[in-house]
Amino acid sequence: MDAADWFRNRSYAYEQFADLETLARRKRDLSLSVSLVLPCRNVADTVGNIVDEIHAVNEKALLVDQILAVDADSEDGTAEVAASHGAVVYSENELMASHGGAHGKGDAMWRSLSVARGDLVMYVDADTRDFKPQFVYGILGPILHVPQIRYVKAAYRRPFKKGENTEPDGGGRVTELSTKPLFNLFYPELTGFVQPLAGEFVADRDLFCSIPFLTGYAVETGVMIDVLKKVGLGAMAQVDLGTRQNRHQPLRNLSRMSYAVLRAVARRLRQDGRLHQVRDPNLPDQLFQFSDYLHAVATPEGLQLQEYVEELVERPPINEVLKVG
Ligand SMILES: Nc1nc2c(ncn2[C@@H]2O[C@H](COP(=O)(O)OP(=O)(O)OP(=O)(O)O)[C@@H](O)[C@H]2O)c(=O)[nH]1
Ligand SMILES: [Mg+2]
């Protein structure tokens, strides 16, 4: 299965799973429980509403059995807010404490597996401002309904808000400028993902417990590559959730976040021996024969996989050309 086939067969829309009763029945029939993990660092302003929305979904149909907030000992009262709305709160530093202090987001997610009891574990970023019910049921839809699927990633449009102005697709700068180009070059199987860095994704706990987790902001990149290696592209899926608005970080912070993504890819490339298989459409013997740049995007009309031909011509040193002529 190449990326284009995968995109056609494994992209879903949340509306397909909006019948919560059916989804909950399916979950009961399969005897599956679900843990939802919220990695939290200074999200007192958003986490309460997110936990409320999860409870609201549960009142319609029981989809989430355990709501965990794993907090970076935030100073803004995140832990108190999350607890008062009914999440079970852990400090990231008290979990797996023998491993020392936690190293950022990825470590918090890894440590949460020591207390997440669910057969399915779902991670959800806690800085979403416009959290909607489909962030819960949409992501669970494909993994509950399609037996081959073991990992589901969120897809959405990401508006960029500055003051009064909103750019509908201006968010997700690290994704667009680092992750997608890197995947095109080194992990072309993954180019069909619209939001490869989305913090909203689910898998069975056995899968998460059998792969390494990179710490900090390298976690999503590492999990994508390691899940691909473990279960193959056919067991992965994405679901369009509409739009997602979150807090924006300053460009300067994104430089370091990009570096984390690059390091994750570089480390796996070396381990996988893929450096010698770099996908360059101008060279023969390609692993994947599709056009040069695959760009997966979310649009008001749904998810699209756009293809661009990017010429990269290498001119010889001009001395060599001029002296012949
Ligand atoms: N426990 C814990 N959570 C963290 C840490 N860093 C970030 N988070 C949480 O992880 C989620 C995503 O982190 P963000 O900093 O928003 O990173 P991002 O979503 O990749 O980046 P943006 O696109 O700029 O939002 C949020 O819920 C954060 O509060 C950390 O060190 N520890
Ligand atoms: Mg965020």
More confident residue, 319 or 300: 300
Q: Residue 211: name the closest of 228, 186, 198, 199 by CA.
A: 228
Quick one: pLDDT at residue 289? Answer: 47
Torsion of CA 78, 84, 86, 89, to 10 degrees: 40
CATH 3.40.430.10 fits 3-324, yes or no: no
247 confidence band (pLDDT: 50, 70, 90): confident
Q: At what angle do helices 219-231 and 104-112 cross, to 10 degrees?
A: 50
| 199 touches ligand 1 (CB under 6 Å) | yes
Q: Which residue has the tokens 């360059």?
A: 280
Contact yes or no for 112/124 (Cβ under 8 A): no
Q: CB under 8 Å to 298, separation ≥6 — which residues? A: 155, 156, 157, 169, 194, 195, 240, 243, 304
> Quick check: 324 pLDDT over 80?
no
281 confidence band (pLDDT: 50, 70, 90): low
* Ligand index nearest the alpha carbon of residue 261: 1
> Quick check: 266 pLDDT over 50?
yes
Instruction: Tell the residue nearest (CA) to atom 16 of ligand 1.
Output: 127
pLDDT in tens, 303-312: 999 998 877 7
> Quick check: 283 pLDDT over 70?
no
Q: In angstroms, rounded to a whole number, what is the distance separating the alpha carbons of residues 159 and 18?
A: 24
Q: In angstroms, rounded to a whole number, what is the distance separating the alpha carbons of residues 239 and 303?
A: 9
User: Is 140 strand, coil or helix?
Assistant: helix
> Quick check: 288 pLDDT over 50?
no
Two structure tokens written together for 79: 């832990």
Q: CB under 8 Å to 73, separation ≥6 — which residues? A: 79, 91, 92, 93
> Quick check: 290 pLDDT over 50?
no
Contact yes or no for 138/239 (Cβ under 8 A): yes
Ligand 1 atom nearest to CA at 47: 27
pLDDT in tens, 176-207: 999 999 999 999 999 999 999 999 999 999 99
| 108 touches ligand 1 (CB under 6 Å) | yes
Q: Residue 306: name the closest of 12, 9, 3, 16 by CA.
A: 3
User: What average pLDDT does the chain have?
Assistant: 93
Q: Report the half-sphere exposure of 214 (CA within 13 A, side-chain side).
A: 21
Q: Which residue has the tokens 């924006």?
A: 248
| 220 touches ligand 1 (CB under 6 Å) | no
Ligand 1 atom nearest to CA at 171: 23
Q: In angstroms, rounded to a whole number, what is the distance separating the alpha carbons of residues 165 and 292?
A: 34
Q: Residue 202: name the closest of 107, 104, 116 by CA.
A: 116
Ligand 1 atom nearest to CA at 248: 24
Two structure tokens written together for 149: 């699927």
Report the separation in Å between the CA atom of 172 and the middle of ligand 2, taken as the mean of its atom positions: 9
Q: CB under 8 Å to 11, separation ≥6 — which residues? A: 155, 192, 237, 238, 239, 240, 303
Q: CB under 8 Å to 13, separation ≥6 — which residues? A: 138, 239, 240, 302, 303
* Ligand index nearest the alpha carbon of residue 254: 1
Q: In angstroms, rounded to a whole number, what is the distance separating the alpha carbons of residues 4 and 8?
A: 6
**pTM of the prediction?**
0.93
| 249 touches ligand 1 (CB under 6 Å) | yes
- DSSP symbols for 25-39: HHHHHTT--EEEEEE
CA angle at residue 186 from 183 to 189, to 5 degrees?
A: 60
316 confidence band (pLDDT: 50, 70, 90): confident
Helix residue ranges per DSSP H, the chain: 3-10, 20-29, 44-60, 78-84, 104-112, 134-145, 173-174, 180-186, 205-209, 219-231, 251-272, 318-324
Ligand 1 atom nearest to CA at 173: 23
Q: Residue 151: name the closest of 161, 160, 140, 162 by CA.
A: 140
How do the domains of the chain map onto residue ranges? 3-324
> Quick check: 285 pLDDT over 70?
no
318 confidence band (pLDDT: 50, 70, 90): confident
Report the separation in Å between the CA atom of 156 and the middle of ligand 2, taken as the mean of its atom positions: 13
| 67 touches ligand 1 (CB under 6 Å) | no
